[in-house]
Amino acid sequence: MLTGASVLPLLRRTEVMPSAVSCRICSRKFPFQSGKRVCSKECRNELHERLKSMDDQQMNMLPLLSASPELARRFVGKPEDAELAYLIKTDAPPTAVSFRLGCFRDGPRPAKHPRMRWFPYLIFRNPPVYSLVEWQPVHVPFAGNYAVAYFDDKCALVGPPKFFIEVRKPNAMFNWSDGDTSLLIRPLR
């Protein structure tokens, strides 16, 4: 017979912590440890790659920003990247002074965990950004749609990318695989 006082200890006894849990990657069982989701360093790396790839694929669904026909007409006879420069500058947040362009690899070879690469990258330009203030032709590995990421004067990202933009003239000087897998830049000191 249970009295009110004895109910609590009884309940406590049934609240057992799980002693073994399944690895999210390989399903192997491992001893429960708060916050631990995978069994090994290898599975941790695999989970990391999967999550990064999912983030990039999410970003790949951002809308494509393009000029209306009326706006596009204003750039007829102007330099080839005038429209691109206008769109990138016009949509920049107030604190942005530079930008990077990112995309997935072009072509049929599927990667296990597809990632975006960002341009410019450090060896090509330091800091690895294109200036909004003094516009120069951008270099990307191929013509196509690129996510636009804006940075402030400390090279800190100004919010997450919001749109893609079509680069018609890539001025290619490097390969896609040269690009940076990390969108963020080590801030300037």
Residue (29 or 74) nearer to Zn ion, CB: 29
Query: Site for Zn ion (CB under 5 A): how many residues?
Result: 6
**Token pair for 92:** 């920049």
Tell me the closest approach of the beta carbon of residue 50 to Zn ion, in angstroms.
Answer: 12
For residue 20, the minimal CB distance to Zn ion (Å) is 13
Residue 39 near Zn ion by CB under 5 A: yes
Residue 26 or 71: which CB sits closer to Zn ion?
26
25 in contact with Zn ion (CB under 5 A) = yes
Shortest distance, position 42 Cβ to Zn ion, whole Å:
7
32-to-2, 16, 37, 137, 189 alpha-carbon distances in Å:
32, 11, 9, 54, 42
Question: Nearest Cα to 147, choosing from 128, 119, 181, 109?
Answer: 119
Q: Backbone dihedral region of 155: left (phi > 0), alpha (psi from -120 to 50 degrees) or beta?
A: left
- Determine the interface stretch with Zn ion among 1-9, 35-43, 71-79, 160-168 (rule: CB under 5 A): 35-43
Query: Considering the rule CB under 5 A, would residue 46 count as an interface residue with Zn ion?
Result: no
Cβ atoms of 70 and 86 within 8 Å: the answer is no
